[in-house]
């Protein structure tokens, strides 16, 4: 409510041209932000804004005609925008709209001291505002282009099915009865990495017939987030969903508290029989096993029941804690209130460029920053080190940058009034690096833009909770596209397939990048080629195959989803699967 007051105050002292912009942005903002239940305190403001709207429609129409009439060489609209923008920035430093993003950009621009700042001219910035005004005006009279872009895949008839075998169910009772064996795990990395390890920990506990002590989340050196399991996930829900599979306990019982645990770290691709052979005897003797470094250790090829268990943990048991879930849902609703939206997971953070051994494509200054960091801390590089930057890039091993994402989305038919939620941390080079995207798609928001003042406060210093909010809003989007593979993209791909095959675009980087560098291609030709390359990687489910050790939580078919339309041949899926595997 504080926000409405703010807006009202703002609206009362600004001059006419800025009212146009302000009322466009604030009313679209308002409908984006306000829940259906409005308190009576806002009604005065609402009446005021209705009046303003009539004025706005009239003026926009008037200026629209004006602009059309002089479209060819008069600089008038741009002038209008730059002056109104100055006033706007005076009256509103904490806007939550896309204009707010731009103001932030402006602010950051001033503080950025490098060559990079010359890349965006004054003219370009003004263009951003022109397109804001134009889109605002279109939006106000309900203009919405139909586009194939939002069309959803049919999922080929696959539906979730997690029914366990009779043998598995027969073992439940005995496993749940056990009071001797306890598995403790320490999980590490970012939130999505920890999530994967928790999934594996449940499966390992089941393999060993041990109770699982609520996983300990290791504090990460990069992110420094001290959140515990219960801060991120809904522990009661976790216990309840798994109550027939694994006993989950909050702490070691007093009978075991003095035990010195057997410690271990499974090798890559550890199989259930390896785990039993290696740990079971000692666990029976000592009572407590402590595992760490579980990342991608458990084999991806497990017996069918254990695959189902992995799906059950990933898709059903691991729900975010209530406060996160609530804010995530609110933000998703704000996005959704204006129609379908695309969630983009951008991987442009400094540590991502360093780890992947790629260059951010900004300027030589930023290349130097990355190179120096890599020299200083060679252990961070996880990519193949015998490749040059160019080889890595062309092999599809690098995150896409903002210009590439923009061109890809345009080629795939994303309308320029598409609403985009971008997930991810602060890009190297600041929000300014996102300008190519914002210019093409002005309805461009992240959680900071969409949260009301104070809403994000409990989460800001906690990277895992912030990542969880991104996860929720991305998962609920109509279309999802990551700029690079990774734990979050993987998890969301599986989850979206599981809950109904919501469209997921996998950029076919290796095949598309040569066309990005060919300047003799016309835009039409480029778009046609890019569209064709992505025909089969636009969200139809991929099949988990043994050959490439695919993860069932990314490809839930066939173990966790069954086909209600048996006439669809698997060969069909194989083709689609191959195409989307980059
Ligand atoms: C890099 O090394 C791997 C194996 O270590 C090899 O398969 C690959 O061809 C090498 N790449 C280049 C560009 O030399
Ligand atoms: C660029 O595209 C044109 C037109 O399709 C093609 O003839 C040419 O070989 C391409 N150039 C490169 C370097 O791939």
Report pLDDT digits (tens) over 200-210: 999 999 999 99
pLDDT value, residue 154? 83
3-state helix/strand/coil string of 403-431: HHHHHHHHHCCCCCCCEEEEECCCCCCCH
Choose the residue to mutate in 357, 383, 384 for probing ligand 1, maximizing ligand atoms within 8 Å of C-beta.
Answer: 384
Nearest ligand 1 atom to alpha carbon 386: 1
Distance in Å, CA 514 to ligand 2 centroid: 9
* Under 8 Å between Cβ of 564 and 159: yes
Ligand 1 proximal residues by C-beta, below 6 Å? 384, 386-387, 391
Distance in Å, CA 396 to ligand 2 centroid: 20
pLDDT at residue 8 is higher than 60: no
Closest CA to 139 of 444, 331, 418, 344: 418
* Under 8 Å between Cβ of 341 and 475: no
Nearest ligand 2 atom to alpha carbon 519: 1
Rounded to an integer, the average pLDDT of 345-372 is: 90
CA distance 408 to 533: 11
* Under 8 Å between Cβ of 373 and 512: no
pLDDT value, residue 539? 62
CB atoms within 10 A of CB 189: 18
* Under 8 Å between Cβ of 487 and 195: yes
* Under 8 Å between Cβ of 149 and 413: yes
pLDDT at residue 90 is higher than 80: no
Q: Whole-prediction pTM value?
A: 0.74
The reply to whether ligand 2 has any atom less than 6 angstroms from the CB of 517 is no
* End-to-end alpha carbon distance in the chain: 47
Closest CA to 563 of 221, 154, 172: 154
CA distance 421 to 465: 17
Distance in Å, CA 527 to ligand 2 centroid: 14
Find how far residue 43's CA is from the centre of its chain. 36
Choose the residue to mutate in 520, 527, 533 for probing ligand 2, maximizing ligand atoms within 8 Å of C-beta.
Answer: 520
Q: For 159-211, what is each residue's pLDDT tens digit?
A: 999 999 999 999 999 999 999 999 999 999 889 999 999 999 999 999 999 99
Which pLDDT band holds residue 322 (cuts at 50, 70, 90)? very high
pLDDT value, residue 85? 33
Residues with Cβ within 8 Å of 579's Cβ and at least 6 positions away in sequence, in order, are 508, 535, 536, 537
Domains and CATH numbers, the chain: 166-317 (3.40.50), 322-348+399-517 (3.40.50.11350)
More confidently predicted of 321 and 371: 321
pLDDT value, residue 258? 81
Distance in Å, CA 408 to ligand 2 centroid: 18
More confidently predicted of 503 and 69: 503
The reply to whether ligand 2 has any atom less than 6 angstroms from the CB of 528 is no
Question: Phi, psi at residue 513, to the nearest 5°?
Answer: -60, -35
Q: Tell me the percentage of the chain whose pLDDT exceeds 70.
A: 69
pLDDT at residue 111 is higher than 50: no
pLDDT value, residue 53? 52
pLDDT value, residue 576? 44
Which pLDDT band holds residue 383 (cuts at 50, 70, 90)? low
Question: Which single residue is written with the structure tokens 């199989």?
Answer: 271
Average pLDDT taken over every residue of the chain: 77
Nearest ligand 1 atom to alpha carbon 391: 13
Q: For 241-257, what is each residue's pLDDT tens digit?
A: 999 999 999 999 999 88
* Under 8 Å between Cβ of 324 and 472: yes
pLDDT value, residue 431? 87
Question: Which single residue is written with the structure tokens 């691709």?
Answer: 269
Nearest ligand 2 atom to alpha carbon 525: 5
pLDDT value, residue 272? 97
CA distance 199 to 315: 10
Q: In what order do the strands lie in the sheet with 479-482?
A: 444-445, 419-423, 341-345, 479-482, 503-504
Closest CA to 309 of 202, 195, 171, 178: 202
pLDDT at residue 419 is higher than 80: yes
Distance in Å, CA 530 to ligand 2 centroid: 14
Nearest CA to ligand 2 atom 1: 518
Question: Phi, psi at residue 344, to the nearest 5°?
Answer: -110, 125
Closest CA to 349 of 222, 518, 192, 514: 222
Closest CA to 431 of 96, 112, 29: 112
Whether the upstream peptide bond of residue 558 has omega within 30° of 0, thus cis, is yes
Choose the residue to mutate in 518, 524, 525, 533 for probing ligand 2, maximizing ligand atoms within 8 Å of C-beta.
Answer: 518
Please tell me the least confidently modeled range out of 53-67, 224-238, 251-265. 53-67
CA distance 318 to 311: 10
Task: Give the helix ranges, DSSP H, for 209-268.
Answer: 229-232, 235-241
CA distance 28 to 23: 8
């Amino acid at each position: 409510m504080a926000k409405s007051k703010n807006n009202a105050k703002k609206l009362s002292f600004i001059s006419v041209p800025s009212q146009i912009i302000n009322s466009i942005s604030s009313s679209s903002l308002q409908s984006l932000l306000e829940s259906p239940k409005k308190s009576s305190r806002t009604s005065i403001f609402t009446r005021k804004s209705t009046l303003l709207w009539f004025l706005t429609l009239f003026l926009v129409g008037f200026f629209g005609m004006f602009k059309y009439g002089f479209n060819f060489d008069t600089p008038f609209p741009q002038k209008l925008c730059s002056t109104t923008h100055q006033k706007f920035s005076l009256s509103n430093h904490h806007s939550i709209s896309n204009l707010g993003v731009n103001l932030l950009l402006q602010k950051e621009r001033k503080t950025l001291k490098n060559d990079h700042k010359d890349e965006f001219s004054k003219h370009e910035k003004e263009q951003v505002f022109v397109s804001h005004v134009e889109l605002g005006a279109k939006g106000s009279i309900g203009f919405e282009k139909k586009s194939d872009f939002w069309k959803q895949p049919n999922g080929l008839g696959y539906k979730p099915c997690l029914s366990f075998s009779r043998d598995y169910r027969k073992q439940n009772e005995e496993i749940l009865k056990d009071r001797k064996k306890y598995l403790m795990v320490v999980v590490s990395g970012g939130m999505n990495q920890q999530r994967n390890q928790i999934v594996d920990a449940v499966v390992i506990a089941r393999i060993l017939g041990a109770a699982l002590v609520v996983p300990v989340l290791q504090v990460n050196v990069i992110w420094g987030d001290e959140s515990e399991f219960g801060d991120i996930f809904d522990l009661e829900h976790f216990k309840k969903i798994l109550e027939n599979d694994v006993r989950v306990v909050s702490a070691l019982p007093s009978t075991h508290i003095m035990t010195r645990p057997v410690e271990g770290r499974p090798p890559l691709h550890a199989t259930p029989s390896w785990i039993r052979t290696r740990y079971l005897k000692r666990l029976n003797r000592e009572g407590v096993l402590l595992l760490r470094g579980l990342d991608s250790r458990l084999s991806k090829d497990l017996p069918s029941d254990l695959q189902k268990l992995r799906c059950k943990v990933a898709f059903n048991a691991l729900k975010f804690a209530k406060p996160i879930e609530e804010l995530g849902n609110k933000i998703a609703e704000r996005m959704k209130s204006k129609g379908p939206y695309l969630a983009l997971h951008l991987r442009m953070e400094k540590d991502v460029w360093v780890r992947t051994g790629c260059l951010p494509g900004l300027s030589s200054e930023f290349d130097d920053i990355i190179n120096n960091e890599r020299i200083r801390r060679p252990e961070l590089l996880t990519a193949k080190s015998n490749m040059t930057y160019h080889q890595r890039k062309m092999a599809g091993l690098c995150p896409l940058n903002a210009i590439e994402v923009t061109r890809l989305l345009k080629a795939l038919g994303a309308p320029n009034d598409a609403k985009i939620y971008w997930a991810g941390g602060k890009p190297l080079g600041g929000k300014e690096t996102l300008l190519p995207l914002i210019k093409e798609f002005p309805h461009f928001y992240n959680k900071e833009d969409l949260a009301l003042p104070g809403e994000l406060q409990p989460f800001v210093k906690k990277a895992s909770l912030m990542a969880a909010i991104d996860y929720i809003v991305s998962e609920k989007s109509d279309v999802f596209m990551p700029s690079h593979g990774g734990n979050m993209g993987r998890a969301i791909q599986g989850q979206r397939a599981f809950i109904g095959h919501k469209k997921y675009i996998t950029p076919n980087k290796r095949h598309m990048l040569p066309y990005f560098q060919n300047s003799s291609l016309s835009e039409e030709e480029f778009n046609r080629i890019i569209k064709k390359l992505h025909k089969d990687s636009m969200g139809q489910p991929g099949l988990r195959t043994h050959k490439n050790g695919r993860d069932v939580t990314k490809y839930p078919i066939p173990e966790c989803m069954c086909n209600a339309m048996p006439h669809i041949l698997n060969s069909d899926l194989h083709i689609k699967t191959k195409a989307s595997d980059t």
